[in-house]
Amino acid sequence: MNMPNPSGRVLLVEDDRDLVQMLQAGLSKRGFTVDARESAAAALEAMESEDFDAIVSDVRLEGLDGLGLAERVSSNRPTPIILMTGHGDIETAIAAIRTGVYDFLQKPVALETLVVALARAVRHKSLEEELRRLRDRPNQDGAAGRIIGNSPQIREVQNLARRVAAADISVLITGESGTGKELVARTIHEQSPRRNGPFIPLNCAAVPAPLLESELFGHVAGAFTDAKSDHTGLFEQAHGGTLLLDEIGDMPLEMQAKLLRAVQEGKARPVGGKEEKAFDVRILAATNKDLEEELDEGRFREDLYYRLNVVNIVLPPLRARGNDVLELAQYFIEQAGGRLSREVKGFSRPVAERLLRYDWPGNIRELANSMERAVALTRFSELTVDDLPEKLRDYRVTRNVLDAVPEMVSLEEVERLHIERVLKSVDGNKSKAANILGVDRRTLYRKVERYGISV
């Protein structure tokens, strides 16, 4: 898991004033807010009125020592505590572990060592609080009809979906496969004036091209070899409601022209029919493709693109949603537990750490499947690391963008390698890569051509 930038409020318990000044100055420069006390009693008093993310304490203090402080803290308020001692031995370390100490460092403590330990401790407390919140929140029986998450990215999606729901306009929903595009479409429908009408999704990529016209507009008996009777198309079935055209980027060009005409005129002729049938349908479209790139390549009609893309809702990948992955995991555990009749309440902190560090190439769909598998296999009321799929247990993050760059190379070579890495991470999607790199698409195209990068 990538280590976040150090931050948090630290309570420093130390009676050596020179050491206190040195640690306060060093930790403050690295983003921590440090509040110092000279005794355990003073520290406990401070904790009664203030909240701290972590505690750093000397073992040897006048009155109540560091071990006693750790025992009091762990029994009353589970704040991670790091003990420092100039007299470290195995007995003291064992005693520290038994009292619930998070980490044990021997003096003199290197500042960077303490920074790393504190960053982990702060992260530990944050995860524990998040897990406690997830376990204690009401059961989300109705969550299937809403977009789960509290990250800034998903809040923006929630707000935009709510705003466009009331306006009877076309919406294009884009995002990687498995990010929840159909759920967003359903949410828009259920919050719209058409909520009492039908919601009909169609995966355009799953219907063979020769049958797509019949599926959308219907056909009359005898229109083609297997047309034994009349068939009502999805536009007519969705009358008064919403039609979701999923994977719209895979629709053949010839069919795009027919779709555009139907959307513009609000009527269409069934295959083999003589008369057009009117319909009143709201069109929502979704795709994991970059339609602007498809336009440039001549695979998607510009006029249809602008007809469908009145408002564009872009769904972030799960790897960009932070702690949303934990809230979603808890929801899927509860759902799987109900289906499988398993009493599973949640997951351990080590599981949470692995869920957060994994990059989720399959997004929410992969998370749901992973949690269902874990619930089915676990022997406990709380998921452990052993219950996770092997790829989650063993996943390792490349910590530095330039880890793979050889030493002593030109800036152009570094740029080429970085562009290749970004393009690979988004499966060659140039618009997504341009957004990540902070350049416009034409600039990216020029650099791809200049460096001879294979996409």
How confident is the chain (455 residues) per 10-residue block, as mean pLDDT? Answer: 60 90 90 91 88 89 87 78 75 70 84 88 80 63 64 91 93 94 95 94 91 91 80 93 96 94 92 90 95 92 95 92 91 92 90 90 94 94 93 70 52 78 81 78 82 77
Write down the pLDDT at residue 142: 43
Domain ranges of the chain: 8-136, 147-314, 319-393, 411-451
Write down the pLDDT at residue 367: 96
Q: Which residues have C-beta within 8 Å of that of residue 313, sequence separation ≥ 6?
A: 157, 160, 161, 164, 171, 172, 173, 174, 184
Write down the pLDDT at residue 88: 58
CB-based burial label for 226 (10 Å; 0-12, 13-18, 19+)? exposed
Q: Which residues have C-beta within 8 Å of that of residue 286, sequence separation ≥ 6?
A: 172, 173, 174, 181, 182, 185, 244, 245, 246, 247, 248
Choosing among 1.10.8.60, 3.40.1280.10, 1.20.1260.10, 3.30.1330.60, the CATH entry for 319-393 is 1.10.8.60
Write down the pLDDT at residue 34: 92
Fold of 8-136: Rossmann fold (3.40.50)
The shares of helix, strand and coil residues in the chain, as percent rounded to the nearest 5, are 50, 15, 35
Q: Which residues have C-beta within 8 Å of that of residue 86, sequence separation ≥ 6?
A: 60, 106, 107, 108
CATH architecture of the domain with residue range 411-451: Orthogonal Bundle (1.10)
Write down the pLDDT at residue 401: 47
Write down the pLDDT at residue 444: 86
Write down the pLDDT at residue 184: 96
Choosing among 3.30.70.1150, 3.90.25.10, 3.40.50.300, 3.20.20.105, the CATH entry for 147-314 is 3.40.50.300
Token match 């390698």: residue? 417
CA 371/CA 369 separation, integer angstroms:
6
Do 8-136 and 147-314 have matching folds? yes
